[in-house]
Amino acid sequence: MKVMLRDPPGYFRHLHVPTAEEIVGKVLRRYPELRAKSKRTRDIINLEINRVNLVYQIIIDKMSFLDKLPPPEAIHPFYLELASLTVPYRKYWASVKGLIKLRRKMKEMWEDYRAIVRSAVSLEEAARLRREAVGRALSMVRRSSGAFKTIRDFKYAIAQLPSIDFEQPRLVVAGMPSSGKSSFVKRISTAEVEVASYPFTTKQVHVGHVDLKKYKLQVIDTPGILDRPWEKLNEIERKAAVAIRYLPNVLLFLYDVSDESYGIEEQNTVLENVLKIVPKSKVVVALNKMDIANERKVKLAEEYAKELGLPVYKVSMKTGEGLEEMMEFLVKKALKDFVSEKGV
C-alpha cells in the first residue's frame, strides 16, 4: 500500500539539505585540524589515513539527508504539481538518484583509498595518495552542486506551500480576479489574506479554517483565473488550477455581478473551464456584490448557472447578505462528499 506523506510542507521545512559549498567548506575547516601523534613513519601514515577518513566521513554524513527525501509517489499530486511550477518533480527525483549513486561511489572510494594509503611504501606515496583521495572527493561534490541546488529548490518550493489536511473536509473558492474570493475566506474563516480592489491580489493559495466541532473545514482561497484554456494560464493562475483540480470536497464559484466586474460571458467561460476538471455535483455558484449589483448581470449569471443545474446563492461579502444560508449549504455539501471520500 502506498504511504503518503501527511504534511509535505512541514516535513520539508524541517529537513536540512546542504549545498555543495557547505560540504566542501566543512571539509576544508576540519581537515587542517588533524595532527600526527609523532614523527614516526607509522604515525604519519596513520595521519594520512585519518585525513582520508575525515573527508569521506564528513561528505557521507552530510549526504544522510538523502535517506529522508520522499519519492514523488509519497507526495500528494497537489504539492507535486505546485512545486513543479518551480522545479519539475522528475528533475528533483533524478537529482536524488544521482546523489545516491555518488554517495555509493564515495563509499567504494573510501574503502579503496584507506587500503592503498595503509599499504604505501613511503611517506611521499602516502601523501600523494591522500591528496588524490581528497581531491577526487571534493571535485565530485563540486561537480554535483547542480543536483544539490535542484533538491534545495524543490524543498523550498514545497516548504512555502500551505499545509492541507486531507483528513479534514475542504472548501475551495474560485472565480475571476476581484470577484470577492479573499473577502469571503477572510470573513468566514481564520485566514489572514490580503483584500484589495485591484486584480490578482491573491498570488498564492491560502487556507483558513472553520471549526465544525467534529471536523475543521479548510477554506481555500485561490488566485483569480481568466477566461482562457487551462494550458494558457500564467503561473499564478496555474496555482489556482491545481487547487481546483485536487482539493475540493465542495467548490464555491463566485460571480462578480457589479458594474465594474468582468462580463458575464467571460465569467461563464471560467466556470465552464472549472467544470471540465471538477464534477458538477461539487460546484456551488454565488452571485457576489448584490449590494451594488447590475440587475442584468444578475439575471444572466443566474440563468446560466441554473441552466447548468448548479445551486445558486445571491450574497454580499460587504453586508453579509445571504452568507449564513449559503454557508450552511456549503458545510453540509462538503461534509457529505468528505464522508463519502473517506468511507466513514
Q: How is 56-74 classified by DSSP, letter by letter?
A: HHHHHHHGGGGGGPPPGGG
pLDDT of residue 204: 86
pLDDT of residue 68: 97
202, 329: one domain = yes
Q: How far apart are CA 55 and CA 176, in angstroms?
A: 56
H-type alpha helices, the chain: 8-13, 20-30, 41-62, 77-83, 89-118, 123-143, 145-159, 181-188, 235-246, 264-275, 295-307, 323-342
- Which residue type, as a one-letter code, is found at position 54? L
65, 43: one domain = yes
Q: Determine how β-strand 206-211 pairs with β-strand 170-175.
A: unpaired
Low pLDDT (below 50) residues in the chain: 193-200
Q: How far apart are CA 181 and CA 124, in angstroms?
A: 73
Domain count, the chain: 2
198, 127: one domain = no
336, 187: one domain = yes
pLDDT digits (tens, 9 = 90+) for 298-340: 999 999 999 999 999 999 999 999 999 999 999 999 999 999 9
The grid coordinates listed for 67 are 535517506
Would you say residue 2 lies in a domain?
Answer: no
Q: How far apart are CA 126 and CA 52, in angstroms?
A: 11
20, 155: one domain = yes
305, 205: one domain = yes
pLDDT of residue 200: 42
Q: How far apart are CA 134 and CA 237, in angstroms?
A: 49
DSSP bridge partners of 172: 220, 251
Q: How far apart are CA 222 and CA 173, in angstroms?
A: 6
As a dihedral over the C-alpha atoms of residue 10, residue 13, residue 18, residue 21, rounded to 10 degrees, the angle is 160
pLDDT of residue 213: 85
51 and 19 Cβ atoms separated by less than 8 Å: no
Among 97, 126, 159, where does a domain finish? 159
> Quick count: other Cβ atoms within 10 Å of Cβ 226?
17
Q: How far apart are CA 207 and CA 161, in angstroms?
A: 10
Domain of 232? 170-342
pLDDT of residue 215: 94
Phi-psi region of 343 (alpha: psi -120 to 50; beta: other; left: phi over 0): left
DSSP structure string for 188-234: HSS------SSTT---S-EEEEEE-SS-EEEEEE-----SS-GGG--
74 and 136 Cβ atoms separated by less than 8 Å: no
Would you say residue 202 lies in a domain?
Answer: yes
